[in-house]
């Protein structure tokens, strides 16, 4: 799967685009720069563009580690950009302890998603999974 990764240090944000099947190599190529960005800035915002998705390489399940889950705690705003109808329902099943403001955008709203994700870190002080759940806007 070709994944593009782009950093915007001035807004502490990252944008990636997925196309096709997610392989171990793709995943590792995404995690390594994400770790470096988190090490530099702490919390970050993400624009996640899903152009197409053909599933996960089976080997990816073995490559995933609990340490990778800890990275999610540093994502404060996640804008998911896709016209695939299943993306938003999947987002609603995120772990209860994940404190992140998630919002779904149509593909033609890509620039709006960028603006929303890059604007701020106001979710950093949320205390409960209930509050987090209220922030999922699909």
Asked if residues 45 and 9 have their Cβ atoms less than 8 Å apart, the reply is no
Domain locations in the chain as residue ranges? 3-134
Is the pLDDT score of 125 beyond 70? no
Q: Which token pair is 60?
A: 């990816």
What are 8-49's pLDDT values in tens digits? 999 999 999 988 888 888 888 888 899 999 999 999 999 999
β-partners of residue 79 are 47, 103
Give the sheet arrangement for strand 101-105, strand by strand.
3-8, 13-18, 44-50, 75-81, 101-105
**Backbone torsion region of residue 51, taken as left when φ is above 0, otherwise alpha when ψ lies between -120 and 50, otherwise beta:** alpha
Question: Which CATH number fits the domain 3-134, given the four candidates 3.30.750, 2.60.120, 3.30.67, 3.30.70?
Answer: 3.30.750
CA neighbor of 77 nearest in space, from 119, 19, 17, 31: 119
pLDDT, tens digit, for every residue of 69-90?
788 889 889 898 998 876 665 6
Backbone angles phi, psi at 53, to 5 degrees: -150, 120
Whether 68 has a pLDDT exceeding 90, the answer reads: no
User: What is the value of pTM for the model shown?
Assistant: 0.77
Helix (H) or strand (E) holding 44: strand 44-50
């Amino acid at each position: 799967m070709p994944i593009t990764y782009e950093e915007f240090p001035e807004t502490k944000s990252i944008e990636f685009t997925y196309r096709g099947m997610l392989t171990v190599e793709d995943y590792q190529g995404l995690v390594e720069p994400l770790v470096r960005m988190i090490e530099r800035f702490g919390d970050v915002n993400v624009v996640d563009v899903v152009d197409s998705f053909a599933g996960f390489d089976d080997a990816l399940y073995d490559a995933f580690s609990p340490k990778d889950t800890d990275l999610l705690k540093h994502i404060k705003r996640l804008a998911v950009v896709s016209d695939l109808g299943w993306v938003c329902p999947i987002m609603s099943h995120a772990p209860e302890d994940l404190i992140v403001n998630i919002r779904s955008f149509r593909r033609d709203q890509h620039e709006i998603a960028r603006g929303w994700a890059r604007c701020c870190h106001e979710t950093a002080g949320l205390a409960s999974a209930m509050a987090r759940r209220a922030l999922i806007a699909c």
